[in-house]
Chains A and B, each alone.
Chain A
């Protein structure tokens, strides 16, 4: 992914809201040094400089914009993106709710008119043969059909950016069976029908599928289920935040996964990560957002 971004030979300007934690500063400085980003750090300038000094990072790598509190910092980052002074915004140490509030503000926010806000992540796992894209990982607790359609479209669009023309998207359930006990499966049937009618961007869609049928060819053979996804999914679409959240966290904590992700549905890419995320994950997010910002 990083190679792909470097090959674009373009720098994106990133505004970071409340940019004073070492993981964020470390990730940003790496992206700046690699040459695919410029950064505007909004936050307590003293705190930012202290972190830089403690970690041997040159403060000249980025512009520092002083701000007194996290809400102001989030609003300032959004303002910079709206005015065209920044191409991407990123959450630093500010709380997710405050950050999203600034992004979603009807008058001064970054929302595309009528769009659904959703999170698409890309995860690299030693036990899988390619990057796996996941949605929604952060925003919609229980997506309805309209929101699921938007989630799928965002994920497909992201995978296309990686040069995969016909991504395989698995709509995840507890089994491959459609059942009235699982209302989500009715949405999945509808979506597969839409996909057949060409209502999504180029993709191969199937669901409901359980995780094994989505990601493991061997299971597809054993169970004898006929699915075009065939254990080779590029994208997993989850029925709820409750299922996607422990899934990706288990990948990161127990399976050596690395996650990068982005908010979609906004005018410009928005990087939102848990404050506790590692520097490496944050760095990958920056790279991913630069790829998506490329026009």
Chain B
């Protein structure tokens, strides 16, 4: 199965047990709104950890009815995060979400050696885009976490993403490794890595997906472009997952899809014991909601 739209995630969530989402330092206007909406839609069961008064004030001014939601009072933000992470560690929650704290604070606790959520895998950012002009949802990684991943890092990033896609119901997702050109060019390291990743995939060193690269963006998403250039590839024009060479490229592409192509987006951090939702102030309400939906679908 492949996703045609982000709302397809709802069916996946509905098919499984109710996931518990813990919101760390929950006294945060923009994440609370999305969490409560997801709760009302039966997507997740929230647990709010943070300053109880702060949470209640926000809910009162915004007219959120939170009767029935579990709130744990912890005014110290650092402690609230620690408690949230431990809760996941004790299997009392299935998804972790960032509230009113910086990303680095959250990650510090996630990576704590004693009671953190490390699995030995690299943490990576994974985003799903619904673009009107593409025939299905397209996943893009990593646009926000790893600055300049090495070949080894890229393997982990692919593995993280592919296991997530499989949880969403994909079978042998098609992975395009992005380059500025579709030819291997010794002066562009990304194209060399792309060739290596493709070969490693052929040799079963990276499994459960079909990898091809380097592919330029147009070859990856348009069969017509690929055919025009005479590229023979199972992935070209039908990409499920697009691997970025580095964060500079990913950031620009992510923002151009959202701003210029009016794409809907859902994003999650993978590689920890559970999916982690990190939304930022500039994300739309819908994007925050869809990210919660994605993380619930990806937590199994």
- Whether A257 contacts B260 in the complex (CB less than 8 A), given A181-B147, A242-B246, A276-B225, comes out as yes
The stretch from A38-46, A144-152, A215-223 touching chain B is: A215-223
Answer whether residue A249 sits at the interface, using C-beta atoms and an 8 A cutoff: yes
Contact assessment for A223 and B222 in the assembled complex, using a CB-CB cutoff below 8 Å:
no
A175 interface neighbour in B131, B246, B251, B257, Cβ under 8 Å:
B251
A250 to B225, CA, bound (A): 13
Known contacts A141-B187, A174-B251, A246-B253; is-contact A276 B216 (Cβ 8 Å) = no
Nearest CB on A from B154, distance (A):
14
> Contacts A212-B255, A276-B228 hold; do A245 and B217 have CB atoms under 8 A apart?
yes
Check A211–B252 contact: CB distance below 8 A.
yes
Report A-chain residues with C-beta under 8 Å of the C-beta of B256. 211, 247, 250-251, 255
Residue of A nearest to B138 (CB): A254
B188 at the A/B interface (Cβ < 8 Å)? yes
Number of residue pairs spanning A and B whose beta carbons lie under 8 angstroms apart: 123
**A141-B188, A242-B245 are contacts. A247–B252 as well, Cβ < 8 Å?**
yes
A189 interface residue per 8 A CB criterion = no
Residue count of chain A within 8 Å CB distance of chain B:
41
Within 8 Å CB of A254, what residues of B? 131-134, 221, 257, 260-261, 263
Q: Does A246 lie within 8 Å of B281, measured CB to CB? A: no
In the complex, what residues of B have CB within 8 A of residue A275's CB? 228-229
What is the bound-complex CA distance between A83 and B168, given in angstroms? Answer: 63
B247 adjacent to chain A (CB < 8 Å)? yes
Q: Are B259 and A222 in contact (CB under 8 A)?
A: no
Some 6 contacts from A to B, beta carbons below 8 A apart, are A127-B261, A211-B252, A212-B259, A215-B259, A254-B263, A255-B262
7 residue pairs, one from A and one from B, having the closest CB atoms: A246-B217, A276-B228, A211-B255, A254-B261, A255-B260, A249-B217, A174-B251
**6 further A-B pairs in the complex, CB-CB below 8 A; given A174-B252, A211-B255, A246-B178:** A244-B252, A251-B256, A251-B260, A253-B217, A254-B131, A255-B261
Interface residues of B (CB under 8 A from A): 131-134, 147-148, 178-181, 185, 187-188, 190, 216-218, 221-222, 224-225, 228-229, 245-253, 255-257, 259-263, 281-282
